[in-house]
């Protein structure tokens, strides 16, 4: 699976970020981890065991990216082991649409973000199994101990971790 990997001394001219979509299941199916694993298996199968990479422009055109096209691209993949292909053949429609809409929305404030040559790797999967039990005021069963962000098990991303910090800060400010 794809994930961030940073070296202190080795730098790349590219920048990257993960676009994560949350899926919740209740009735009649309630096994999100099994579901996500299947999505991962499907994508890896299409990449013959490698990470799939596709140009954003090809996603919008409904075509796969060919290795020859990728080799001519101005954006050179940092992950050299990735296979050019069709992410959309394995990614369920709902997260795919959300990812496309997110990229287009960010392009409004960061022009070029939705460039045809922007590379999409897939899949990044995150599992949320262990969560610290808390009420809506972030109170645990230990008085005055609050667990926020990733340490709480409730978040796995920048936005939601930040929101938890903001809500806790507002609460502390109110108390004071
Ligand atoms: C390689 C990588 C790539 C990622 N990419 C993305 C991405 O593209 N998009 C996205 O949404 N999310 C991404 N994430 C996840 C995101 O970074 C985290 O969800 C988010 O940073 C969690 O924020 P946080 O404040 O809960 O914890 P953290 O950001 O981990 O902050 C915890 C802080 O506590 C400090 N600390 C630890 N122990 C102590 C101690 N004893 N005393 C004092 N300080 C201490 C740590 O040094 C750290 O600064 C990525 C994570 C990694 C590791």
Report DSSP letters for 129-162, one per residue: -------TT---SSTT----GGGGTS--SHHHHH
- The Å distance, Cα 163 to ligand 1 centre, comes to 14
Residues 41 and 118 grouped into a single domain: yes
Q: Whose CA is nearest to atom 37 of ligand 1?
A: 151
The reply to whether 38 and 114 lie within a common domain is: yes
148 and 115 in one domain? no
Same domain, 58 and 112: yes
Q: Are residues 157 and 75 in the same domain?
A: no
Alpha-carbon distance values, 71 to 85, 89, 99, 122 (Å): 13, 22, 24, 19
Name residues contacting ligand 1 (CB within 6 A).
4, 6, 17-18, 149-151, 155-159, 161
Task: Please indicate, yes or no, whether residues 81 and 156 belong to a single structural domain of this protein.
Answer: no
Residue 144 CA to ligand 1 centre (angstroms) = 22
User: Do the domain assignments include residue 44?
Assistant: yes
pLDDT at res. 3: 80
For residue 159, pLDDT beyond 90: no
Two structure tokens written together for 164: 């938890």
Round to whole Å and give the CA distance between 68 and 139. 55
103 with 166, same domain: the answer is: no
At residue 29, φ and ψ (nearest 5 deg) are -105, 130
Estimate to the nearest angstrom the gap between the alpha carbon of 27 and the chain centroid: 25
Q: For 24-34, what is each residue's pLDDT tens digit?
A: 888 898 888 89
Residues 38 and 83 in one domain: yes
Indicate if the pLDDT at residue 4 is higher than 80. no
The pLDDT value given to residue 82: 94
Domain boundary among 84, 107, 122: 122
Q: Which domain covers residue 135, as residue numbers?
A: 129-176
Tens of pLDDT, residue by residue over 103-132, are 999 999 999 999 999 999 998 998 876 789
**How many domains does one find in the chain?**
2
Distance 36 CA to ligand 1 centre (A): 23
Q: Are residues 105 and 40 in the same domain?
A: yes
139 and 111 in a common domain: no
Q: Is the pTM of this model over 0.85?
A: no
**Residue where one domain finishes, among candidates 78, 102, 122:** 122
The pLDDT, as a whole number, for residue 129 is: 67
Tell me the residue length of the chain.
176
Own/partner pairs, 16-20, CB within 8 angstroms, 24+ separation? 16/78, 18/124, 18/157, 19/98, 19/99, 19/102, 19/103, 20/124, 20/126, 20/156, 20/157
**108 and 64 both lie in a single domain:** yes
Q: Which of 131, 149, 159, 163 to mutate to test the pocket of ligand 1 (most atoms within 8 A of CB)?
A: 149
Pocket test for ligand 1, best of 4, 156, 167 (most atoms within 8 A of CB): 4
74 shares its domain with 135: no
């Amino acid at each position: 699976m794809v994930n961030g990997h940073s070296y202190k001394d080795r730098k790349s001219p590219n920048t990257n970020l993960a676009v994560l979509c949350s899926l919740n299941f209740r009735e009649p199916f309630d096994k999100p981890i099994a579901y996500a694993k299947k999505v991962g298996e499907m994508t890896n199968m299409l990449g013959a065991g490698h990470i799939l990479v596709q140009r954003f422009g090809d996603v919008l055109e409904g075509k796969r990216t060919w290795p020859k096209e990728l080799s001519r691209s101005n954006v050179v993949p940092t992950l050299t082991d990735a296979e050019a292909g069709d992410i959309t053949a394995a990614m369920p429609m709902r997260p795919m649409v959300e990812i496309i809409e997110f990229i287009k929305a960010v392009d409004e404030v960061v022009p070029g973000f939705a460039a045809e040559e922007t590379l999409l790797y897939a899949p990044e999967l995150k599992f949320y199994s262990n969560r610290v039990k808390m009420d809506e005021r972030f109170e645990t069963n230990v008085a005055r101990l609050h667990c926020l962000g990733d340490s709480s098990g409730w978040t796995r991303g920048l936005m939601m971790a930040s929101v938890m910090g903001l809500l806790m800060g507002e609460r502390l400010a109110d108390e004071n």
